[in-house]
């Protein structure tokens, strides 16, 4: 699962590197959909936040970002707080896409243990059901850290 997560994050990194080389995009903002499509990823997955709705897939990737990610400016609609993202994750994985989402990736640029505490029971239930879940902290230097054990799952 970590390999899948790192591969998807590397796609976003490459988009940011490509974006920095193109002067005409200097003031352009992007959605996560546009970033993944722009790099030609063929991975079918659910994405949040996203402009597109559709089928449920095995992979679901959720982002809670408060600042640019990997050198790419995000559209305002892509800047979603951790509490809202966790709520959407639980609603989707245990509700609308149950039992299709089996590999869940949550990326955040802010660790707020109080917010995680409110959702930890749901995250543990998801894990106990045999679903794989990775929670990744995106540092401001562009690196990442897997923080499942830090938040207690």
pLDDT in tens, 55-88: 999 999 999 999 888 878 899 999 999 999 999 9
CB atoms within 10 A of CB 149: 8
3-class DSSP state for residue 48?
A: strand
Q: Which residue has the tokens 């979603």?
A: 80
Structure confidence at residue 2 (pLDDT): 92
> Cβ neighbours of residue 125 under 8 Å, at least 6 residues apart?
94
- pLDDT digits 0-9 by tens, 16-53: 776 444 544 556 888 888 887 766 666 789 999 998 88
Which of 63, 87, 91 has the alpha carbon at shortest distance from 5?
63
Relative to beta strand 132-138, strand 144-146 is antiparallel
DSSP category for residue 59: E
């Amino acid at each position: 699962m970590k390999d899948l997560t790192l591969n998807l994050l590397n796609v976003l990194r490459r988009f940011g590197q490509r974006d920095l080389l193109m002067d005409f995009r200097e003031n352009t903002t992007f959605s996560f959909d546009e970033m993944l499509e722009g790099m030609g990823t063929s991975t079918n997955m659910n994405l949040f936040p996203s402009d597109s709705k559709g089928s449920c897939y095995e992979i679901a990737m959720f982002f809670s970002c408060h600042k640019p990610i990997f050198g790419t400016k995000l559209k305002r609609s892509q800047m979603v707080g951790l509490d809202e993202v966790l709520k959407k994750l639980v609603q989707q994985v245990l509700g609308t896409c149950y039992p299709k989402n089996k590999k869940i990736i949550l990326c955040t640029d802010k660790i707020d243990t109080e917010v995680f505490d409110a959702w930890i029971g749901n995250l543990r239930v998801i894990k106990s059901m045999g679903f794989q879940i990775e929670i990744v902290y995106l540092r401001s230097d562009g690196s990442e850290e897997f923080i499942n054990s830090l938040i207690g799952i």
